[in-house]
Amino acid sequence: MRSERTNPDSRNFGLRSRDINKAALNALKEGMKSFQSIATIHDRWSVFSAWIKSEQGIKDMRDIEKAHLVAYAAHLNDRYERGEIAPSTAQNYLSAVNRVMEIARGDRQV
């Protein structure tokens, strides 16, 4: 739980890693029980984290805002329109980001 972290306001919401991917994995382990679900969501998060690092220059979860998620949704829509991914894949990618951010932030604001 976010409130139980040593310093929840530090980099990546205090999830014990400076790396956004490792911090996401720590968040999932903190908030979920199923190893398979953790692995699946983390794989989907990794797609987002690669995109947000390269396209937006963000390396800290605290800097992710709703506008970034809207831009990511547009990116996924472009990939769908080019036939690269199915609509369900785009939805799964967005859901994974929402779940990780919900656990990391401790709310549903992003």
Residues 33-67 pLDDT 10s: 999 999 999 999 999 999 999 999 999 999 999 99
Domain count, the chain: 1
Has residue 43 been placed in a domain? yes
Q: Which domain holds residue 64?
A: 2-105
Reading phi first (left if > 0) and then psi (alpha if -120 to 50, else beta), residue 101 is in alpha
Taking 70 as the threshold, does the pLDDT of residue 104 lie above it?
A: yes
Q: Tell me if 88 sits within 8 A of 47, measured CB to CB.
A: no
CA-wise closest residue to 12 among 2, 4, 108, 31: 2
Has residue 66 been placed in a domain? yes
Has residue 91 been placed in a domain? yes
Has residue 26 been placed in a domain? yes
Q: What is the pTM of this model?
A: 0.88
Has residue 110 been placed in a domain? no
Q: Say which DSSP state 55 is in.
A: I
Torsion angle, alpha carbons of 87, 93, 101, 67, to 10: -60
